[in-house]
Amino acid sequence: VCLSFNLQSTLVATGSMDTTAKLWDIEKGEEVVTLSGHSAEIIALSFNTTGDRIITGSFDHTVAVWDVGTGREQNVLIMMPTNNNLVAKYELVQKYHPYLSMQLWNAMTGTHIATLTGHSDEILDVCFDYAGQRIATASADGSARVYNAETKECIAKLEGHGGEISKVS
């Protein structure tokens, strides 16, 4: 369903309909570890900037933080989407679901940081840049938006597609 390279490009993580994520050694082409704990498909995952943690988001409404070295779960946030808000993470990765706004959360503490708005149709994908300074969203309204991660302000509206934008990276 989803995948992500670590910053060093030595590992790739894959998230699956089978409710697991797997870390793979790219050079050897071998599985390093299976991350098990979600009860529904994993729809988003990403490494943090140092590559020692990975975060996964699932349709079971949880976001989990994992230790890359051991494959052990470090923290689980239970997120129940309400009021048509999107559940996401802050500084590590995003969990997305088809809603019109996006909530940012601190993945380590579970603290709500901010809500980003502006799209007129479903948000279909979200990503952070490698430095963690910008957040990009893709929407069924045919636009993408870029937000400043610190100020939470929209700094660019990317409009021009005639149909939905399903992925952003």
Tokens describing residue 40: 């529904």
Per-residue pLDDT of the chain (169 residues; tens, 9 = 90+): 888 899 888 999 999 999 999 999 999 999 999 999 999 999 888 888 788 999 898 888 888 889 999 999 887 766 544 333 333 443 333 444 446 788 887 766 777 888 888 998 888 888 888 788 899 999 999 999 999 989 999 999 999 999 999 888 8
Terminal C-alpha separation, the chain = 15
**Sequence-ordered list of residues with C-beta below 8 angstroms from that of 61, at least 6 positions apart, any chain:** 78, 79, 80, 81, 87
The pLDDT of residue 108 is 67
Euclidean distance between CA atoms 121 and 156, whole angstroms? 17
The pLDDT of residue 79 is 57
The pLDDT of residue 94 is 40
Euclidean distance between CA atoms 19 and 123, whole angstroms? 22
Euclidean distance between CA atoms 146 and 136, whole angstroms? 4
SS3 state of residue 104? strand
